Structure 1
């Protein structure tokens, strides 16, 4: 019996992991089937490229699509440079003292703050204090703040994985510290950095609470692209169709079609992250 105990334990552990994986995949497939089966009938080029009309009971989702794309672009322009630069400083320049450890702990704690808190903070800072008003710019900057902790954390983790021997080799041949970081460290960590950035942006593109207070509009029957205008976004549009519309049953097919489009957008962004990771790893080999 002494010799069988480790084998039985291994089988139990393996079975538990397999069962957990199967349960997660099962519920994921149920959700996807629900969305695809009820939203596929609405999915078409006309649905994607037509603005909503008649109080969102007819037409398509072109306005929310444009708003989501512009919102994600503003989020990326604000969060990526600051997030990556902060991670490089913390990992490559900052000393390992109590202040640096406090900053790291604060950044990780900010990752766990509910998104609606960021929405209230964006309302107070960008909408009211800086007087941007409820606008695309205010919402994009709010999502940028939400994305910063994730980008900083994933970027720093990617930099930590780079062996110190590569830094020492570059310094030994006469490169400065900045040149070592720019030409050796960052390119080697780029797969992890890009993966973290794209996954973070895909998460931000599906957020509803932060844009609820900062600029998302219930209904706009035209395409908008001005930074100081209110906008429509896919997650908020889906929320309104599913819970707040006066004719919920009438717009339910549009809601499922919107959900399917949002799932496809997030899936494509995640697929892009995996592609970049594969491409850079292949180039390294």
Structure 2
């Protein structure tokens, strides 16, 4: 449905607005529950919404990714602060990852110009599907390693930033995988991953705003590759439900939270497989 036809159909506009509002609520719960930005939900919802407004797919996709990253900034900040209030957020780990993550985000923006994003999506599918199987089928398995060390912090931090920038996600799912593999409890990993989302989303959003500034074929409300109207519809419910997700996370036991995170990773894997087909 093109823009003119959509504007002439009030019921379609209402359904589109309700879809975005509902997506915001789901993003907020995920941000609090798993320390992730909700990009697995927001990117496809934004993409389909922009297509319905008549945007060209080549413009709709970066607009969806940029808007998703912008969504992650406030929800990740709120989630991180809420987890910190419960004493679960590890500021030392965030400080150790700050420069590597930022470097990875910058590198991802450069690499994306030369290598197809599908390659990195395939890598993420392999990683997340493997971890989903480990969490769902071997919940009591011991971690591969306990602690990362200086070199590990540099390498893993850069990897989080690199993959996040290439796939338009907040990096929480990737950092959560890495931290739990290295012996962290789920509650501590979830809390710290929320902080990682801030490190990824802020420079990522700025990059997409600059990349899309002045580009033709974008809606009038767009700030580069960020849709202001989509943010207005999704942010209120996302902010309302983020604290709810945090309460859920701390109310659940370790085994249940691991199983839920495994199911979430499985869903994300399926979403990227569909995108690759």
**Larger RCO, structures 1/2 (Cα 8 Å, 6+ apart):** 2
TM-score (norm 2): 0.32
TM-score (norm 1): 0.31
Rg comparison, structure with higher value: 1
